[in-house]
Amino acid sequence: MTKPRLSLLSGTILLILLGAASALGQKGQVVEKNVEFARGRSSATVKGVVADRLDSHIFHVRATAGQTMSVQMISSRPLRDAYLCVNYPLTEKGENEGVCKKRSYKIKLPRDGDYEIYIEAIRDRIPYTITITVK
């Protein structure tokens, strides 16, 4: 191998390693909250700001099969910047199911368990208000 090729190869490997190290260093803060309804109430509202697009804001709601869950997100930012996803409890086969990429859902719940509602932020500094209703 000639000297210029070796130098090019070394440079390429170094660039790949630096890129991988940079990607591994990217992590955000995870904010998780259990949403509990006040006595006699079937809805709750949570407010916050996703400061960084690498952050995760996850809300856990315990519900029963057959109930209907309505989830609505209000934000001053456009839909392309942030939206909601809802993960259902795992199926009996251990499979994950859910819905994503909207700001409003009305779902007849398929099974008992912990439902996760999370914000998928594409940009930084996303203010939000989420109203969750389970009946």
Instruction: Kindly state whether residue 15 falls inside one of the protein's structural domains.
Output: no
Alpha-carbon torsion 6, 10, 15, 16, what sign? positive
Q: What is the CATH classification number for the domain harbouring 110?
A: 2.60.120.380
Domain total in the chain: 1
Instruction: Kindly state whether residue 17 falls inside one of the protein's structural domains.
Output: no
Instruction: Kindly state whether residue 92 falls inside one of the protein's structural domains.
Output: yes
On whether the CB atoms of residues 79 and 123 are closer than 8 A, the answer is: no
Instruction: Kindly state whether residue 130 falls inside one of the protein's structural domains.
Output: yes
Residues 6 or more apart whose Cβ sits within 8 Å of residue 55 = 28, 29, 30, 31, 121
0.85 exceeded by the pTM?
Answer: no
On whether the CB atoms of residues 49 and 125 are closer than 8 A, the answer is: yes
Instruction: Kindly state whether residue 105 falls inside one of the protein's structural domains.
Output: yes
Closest CA to 107 of 63, 54, 49: 63
Instruction: Kindly state whether residue 101 falls inside one of the protein's structural domains.
Output: yes
b/e sequence 59-70, b meaning 16+ C-beta within 10 Å = bebebeeeeebe
Tens of each residue's pLDDT in the chain, 135 residues: 555 554 554 554 544 544 444 444 456 888 999 999 999 999 999 999 999 988 989 999 999 999 999 999 999 999 889 999 999 998 888 888 899 989 999 999 999 999 999 998 999 999 999 999 999
Backbone angles phi, psi at 27, to 5 degrees: -150, 150
> Which residue segment(s) compose the domain that 111 sits in?
30-134
